[in-house]
Structure 1
């Protein structure tokens, strides 16, 4: 597939000149598509030949051509035009365009009075989250940027006429450059080849998403080996874990979406059996299974990243706990020292305080020193002992208040029973 950039110009009915930088895609035998928000230049299949048409995006959606038409569009370009909400092409697909979904798949069969399928409508939707560092600085919450990508495909197929209308929504530029457009014979027999081509590109987007998460986790792991290892920032670690959790969710939904496509293709074979094209169905089914296996591998890697991130969070928590433990041991040693000094000097302090009271007196009597103790010395003990006991009781009540309350509650409950 080759790509050519070209500067397009056109004039509207009021004479205003417009310019748009567009990307032409060449795939296979002269098959060209052009993406542009307002105007599109299509090369559509008409009478077994590819014909070029200049048209508005809204016109192609409201009045599709009797041929194979492929449109690359963005949800912003469509939602700005409210009148497209009721268009036959986008009416059921509007929730995928306007709403925030993490994945979706739908398939509708429209039949005529003879119960023949006249239209097959299907769409699939995927969503990814990409988280990267803004620069080469250490991983910090404010240094991580992330964005969501929601992309989808809508296929309208008319089996009786062979007409196909395919809308790729929000497909990143690199992916719509690389997409492998199904061959003419494949498109005529199996509408799900479009979903396979789309899922093949979605797989690459998911792969990029998972590896962007891996880079963040690896940067966190490398910080452990730095000489001046900074203190762990738990908000940062949990923020990365949140991104990985979203990626796990998206991959799980994507796997279910691919499985739904495989199941619906089997149903379509029953409703619209084409025996001579059986190898095509089998080949497309195997391709879908391969994509599912690739997504499963990415999902396994993403779960591994989640486990690695949990390990980093637990390690950081244990390191902080060990640091707090060492600080507590240091504080405990200091308190032991203070307690020992207090224990040594407490008896002397008590004795000096006791004999320094006015209950004792040392006087001279004829050159002799007399030791006199007051008859009211008992007042000291009468006040000190009850006050000490009261202090201990108050402390015990405060310290064991929860236990006392729970015991009283159990006794009261037992009496009621």
Structure 2
């Protein structure tokens, strides 16, 4: 007999009009709350669930698939490494199942460095998975995997503010709560990257001896590009959730005659639609802010490169002037050097009355002229091939 693994979970559930929080293990929760009609949020760590060679994990995954109606393929590497997805399934008697994932890259400043710059930021990829099960008179639960504490606390705060019977009205109330909590997480991700970009802008090199560390710029640009990917995918996920919620609302309320449904439930369902649209617009705003940050950082890189290029250009001008001085000195002293070199050879003899030239003086020209011609030809050939 395969015994499922004991995975500790935090359960936030409703009893009457109040919400309560408790801890348990996942296998016991699936057994005790199998037919509970009260809504519950279950927070767990997914690390153990992905141990494919562990029989206990395999048994627990099957229990989760039975409870939440998730497909078995959500445990494979394709889904695990995905930047995000959304899937759903209509069940019998109006029940509804869904599974979705959000990806967030978060920078964390190294507290050991007060002057932290991007290379001293650590980062973590948050893979947040969610699985919901909902039926009008049966179980209503969402399993939240790998949610950071900020998201958990935001979910709890939203639930304490929830009044009435919203979870009875619409299965997408779970999605509404989760997306609303994730907005703050995405916003914090973008602003942390903006802070890193601002630090680099303040460190922009001066024109005199600039020494920028391009590794810093490269690292931050990688973080910004990754955040762009996650925001684009997340925006599309929320768009698909809105589309499915609208279809569900139309099928269960709009196409039915007035009086055949509870009007308060219809209003709750419309609130989900309106709030999800608002959150979608806020995600769009974060995406625009990220694109602005990307453009701002690219401009910082370009201006830094121009400063360095300007410095090297001014240095090259100085070098060129120095070479002109050296060339002028060479021209000034070359004739005298040549004359002194020739007359220092043993081909000349001078006394008080006359100056005589040796008959072997031709040897100098026999070697000097051909060597000069060959050297000039080789130099000309090298210059020609370099063009």
**Which TM-score band applies after superposition, normalised by the shorter structure?**
0.7 to 0.9
Contact 1:107 1:123 in 2 (8 A): yes
Aligned match of 1:399: 383
Aligned match of 2:106: 130
Aligned match of 1:65: 34
- Which of these residues, 135, 146, 153, is aligned with residue 177 of structure 1? 153
Q: Which has the higher helix share?
A: 2
Q: How does 1:183-332 map to 2 (within 5 A)?
A: 185-224=165-204, 231-273=211-253, 275=256, 276=261, 277-332=265-320
Relative to the length of structure 1, the TM-score reads 0.76
Per-residue CA deviations over 1:206-263 (Å, capped at 9, x if unaligned) read 0111111111111112224999997311001111111111111111111111101011
Instruction: Report the 3-state secondary structure (helix = DSSP H, G, I; strand = E; otherwise coil) of the residue aligned with 2:203.
Output: helix
Unmatched runs of 5 consecutive residues or more in structure 2: 1-7, 52-56
Does residue 362 (structure 1) correspond to residue 338 (structure 2)? The answer is no
Partner Cα separation in structure 2 for residue 225 and residue 381 of structure 1 = 58
Contact 1:133 1:216 in 2 (8 A): no
Partner Cα separation in structure 1 for residue 84 and residue 191 of structure 2 = 20
Instruction: Report the 3-state secondary structure (helix = DSSP H, G, I; strand = E; otherwise coil) of the residue aligned with 1:65.
Output: coil
Does residue 373 (structure 1) correspond to residue 357 (structure 2)? The answer is yes
Cα deviation, residue 271, structure 1: 4.8
Q: Which has the higher strand share?
A: 1
Instruction: Report the 3-state secondary structure (helix = DSSP H, G, I; strand = E; otherwise coil) of the residue aligned with 1:400.
Output: helix
Q: How does 1:55-134 map to 2 (within 5 A)?
A: 56-61=25-30, 64-67=33-36, 68-70=38-40, 71-76=42-47, 78-79=49-50, 81-87=57-63, 88=66, 89=68, 91-92=71-72, 93-95=74-76, 99-111=80-92, 119-134=95-110
Aligned match of 1:353: 341
Cα deviation, residue 273, structure 1: 4.6
Contact 2:108 2:123 in 1 (8 A): yes
Per-residue CA deviations over 1:172-197 (Å, capped at 9, x if unaligned) read 22332332236563222311111011
Q: Say if 1:362 and 1:95 are closer, same or farther in 2 by CA, change over 3 A.
A: same
By relative contact order (CA 8 Å, sep 6+), the higher-ranking structure is 2
Relative to the length of structure 2, the TM-score reads 0.81
Q: Say if 1:32 and 1:94 are closer, same or farther in 2 by CA, change over 3 A.
A: farther
Cα deviation, residue 101, structure 1: 2.9
Instruction: Report the 3-state secondary structure (helix = DSSP H, G, I; strand = E; otherwise coil) of the residue aligned with 2:359.
Output: coil
Per-residue CA deviations over 1:334-373 (Å, capped at 9, x if unaligned) read 222222111111000011112222332224xxxx522212
Cα deviation, residue 201, structure 1: 0.2
Coordinate RMSD, CA, aligned: 3.2
Contact 1:162 1:188 in 2 (8 A): no
Aligned match of 2:328: 340
Contact 1:75 1:97 in 2 (8 A): no
| Matched residues, number | 356
Cα deviation, residue 132, structure 1: 3.2
Q: Say if 1:402 and 1:330 are closer, same or farther in 2 by CA, change over 3 A.
A: closer
Unmatched runs of 5 consecutive residues or more in structure 1: 1-19, 41-55, 112-116, 404-417
